[in-house]
């Protein structure tokens, strides 16, 4: 996993989770507590409500990315940039400042004025964006998006998110964002839930991961809460996201989110070990699909993905004949069966490929056992 240096702030597996607080200088933005049109008041908010509460990064939005609003042009964003720059210059606390934009001209102007990094909500749809960020040696968040400056984040299939993030490549300091939220009419709450379940998969890109899940609809729907009531759901998801490999959490609720992120980090596995000159990284591979992503990154044979994962199942209520047939079938398929001490149950484990091979051959002892083995052998991607 590549680490990123964002103006001296380390982001990646070798560093604690980072919190990105949000400041908007766009009147149309929906979250009113973070919206300002006066640089002095905005700076006070950044110091008191973001930096002092634990924000490592301040992300400044010049316009709302809500699809209901007309997209601003680069010139219109540049007109708002002065307020953002004046705010940044008035802040007393120490934080990395990020400019949220889709245009390389705006990114260039912001970086020239002292901003430290870029949050590109259109994922390099502007092909000049990587060049600008590389020339400025700036970290850049790349959100999954179609190659269309007017449609930020509007990837319509979860399976397309990974490919959208790969579009137009990466800089050495790219952070990836899988684009949670209703960026298009076609995207459903279940799509966001599936993306969250598959969050480890994006580690296959070898880049730090940013997630923006604060009070999002897909969490509120699960908990049955309004936006105002959804903070506990967001905090639970934050801990899960960090444990699954997220490195930056973008939020309006800085202090609470910081604590939730630290809990997630404290109970995550230590993935990287150094043994002399040898570096060892334990990869998050819980499904063959995640294995395939890492194999693709390494240029290796993706056919080996089904061998990257071991699954374990406990089966109970088996008689002696069923246990014997299962043991023989598992041995032929390359899986393993271990009997329980009481003689009624077994532990069955093996790779997805071995379990699929086991399921493809009827054991012929009882319909119930055959049905159970068939369910175990279903694709697990």
Question: Measured between alpha carbons, how far is 350 from 306 in angstroms, rounded to an integer?
Answer: 10
Query: Residue 122 to residues 51, 148, 149: CA-CA distances in angstroms?
Result: 27, 7, 6
322: tokens are 């069923």
When pLDDT is cut at 50, 70 and 90, the band that residue 66 belongs to is low
Is residue 300 domain-resident? no
Burial group, residue 280, by CB count within 10 angstroms (0-12, 13-18, 19+): exposed
Residue with tokens 């609720």: 253
What CATH number has the domain bearing residue 108? 3.20.20.20
Which of 268, 296, 328 is the C-terminal boundary of a domain?
Answer: 268
Question: Is the pTM for the entire model greater than 0.75?
Answer: yes
Provide the domain limits for residue 175.
4-268
- The pLDDT, as a whole number, for residue 214 is 95
| pLDDT number for residue 63 | 86
pLDDT at 368 over 80: yes
CATH number at residue 353: 3.30.1370
How confident is the model over 231-242, as pLDDT tens digits? 999 999 999 999
What tens digit of pLDDT does each residue of 329-342 get?
Answer: 999 999 999 998 87
Residue 363 domain-assigned (yes or no): yes
Indicate whether 286 belongs to any domain.
no
- Give me the pLDDT at residue 279, please: 84
Whether 257 and 361 map to the same domain: the answer is: no
| Number of domains composing the chain | 2
Same domain flag for 210 and 318: no
Q: Are residues 161 and 248 in the same domain?
A: yes
User: CA of 51: how far to CAs of 29, 82, 252, 290, in Å?
Assistant: 21, 21, 12, 36
The yes-or-no verdict on residue 85 having pLDDT over 90 is yes
Does 256 lie in the same domain as 325?
no
pLDDT exceeds cutoff 70 at 381: no
* Residues facing 280 on adjacent strands: 273
Residue 147 falls within a domain, yes or no? yes
Share of the chain above pLDDT 90, in %: 77
Cβ–Cβ < 8 Å for 4, 12: yes
pLDDT at 301 over 60: yes
CA 1 – CA 8 distance, rounded (Å): 18
Claim to verify: residue 358 and residue 249 sit in the same structural domain: no
Same domain as 260, residue 171: yes
The DSSP bridge pattern shows strands 117-120 and 96-101 to be: parallel
State the alpha helices, DSSP H only, in the chain.
39-45, 74-90, 104-112, 129-135, 158-166, 189-197, 217-223, 231-243, 254-266, 288-297, 320-333, 352-359, 367-376
Which of 212, 237, 268 is the last residue before a domain boundary?
Answer: 268
> 344 versus 280: which is more confidently predicted?
280
Predicted local confidence at residue 10, as pLDDT: 98
């Amino acid at each position: 996993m590549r680490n990123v240096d964002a103006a001296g702030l380390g982001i990646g597996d070798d560093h604690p989770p980072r919190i990105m607080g949000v400041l908007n200088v766009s009147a149309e933005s929906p979250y009113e507590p973070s919206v300002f049109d006066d640089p002095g008041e905005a700076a006070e908010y950044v110091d008191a409500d973001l930096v002092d509460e634990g924000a490592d990064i301040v992300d400044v939005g010049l316009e709302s990315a809500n699809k209901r609003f007309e997209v601003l042009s680069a010139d219109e964003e540049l007109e708002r940039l002065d307020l953002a720059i004046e705010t940044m210059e008035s802040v007393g606390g120490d934080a990395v400042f990020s400019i949220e934009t889709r245009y390389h001209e705006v990114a260039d102007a912001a970086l020239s004025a002292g901003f430290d990094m870029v949050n590109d909500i259109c994922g390099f749809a502007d092909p000049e964006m990587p060049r600008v960020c590389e020339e400025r040696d700036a970290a850049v968040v790349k959100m999954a998006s179609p190659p269309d400056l007017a449609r930020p984040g509007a990837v319509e299939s979860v399976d397309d998110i990974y490919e959208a993030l790969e579009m137009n490549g990466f800089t050495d300091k790219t952070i990836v964002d899988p684009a949670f939220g209703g960026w298009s009419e076609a995207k459903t709450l279940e799509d966001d839930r599936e993306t969250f379940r598959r969050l480890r998969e994006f580690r296959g890109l070898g880049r730090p991961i940013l997630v923006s899940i604060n009070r999002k609809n897909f969490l509120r729907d699960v908990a049955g809460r309004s936006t105002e009531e959804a903070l506990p759901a967001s905090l639970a998801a934050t801990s899960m996201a960090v444990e699954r490999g997220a490195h930056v959490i973008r939020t309006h609720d800085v202090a609470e989110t910081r604590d939730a992120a630290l809990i997630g980090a404290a109970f995550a596995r230590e993935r990287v070990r150094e043994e002399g000159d040898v570096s060892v990284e334990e990869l998050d591979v819980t499904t063959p699909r995640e294995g395939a992503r890492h194999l693709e990154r390494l240029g290796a044979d993706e056919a080996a993905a089904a061998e990257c994962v071991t699954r374990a199942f406990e089966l109970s209520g088996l008689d002696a004949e069923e246990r014997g047939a299962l043991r023989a079938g598992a041995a032929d398929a390359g899986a393993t069966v271990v009997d329980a001490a009481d003689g009624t149950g077994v532990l069955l484990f093996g790779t997805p490929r071995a379990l699929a091979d086991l399921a493809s051959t009827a054991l012929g002892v009882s319909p119930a056992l055959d049905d159970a083995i068939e369910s175990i052998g279903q694709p697990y991607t």
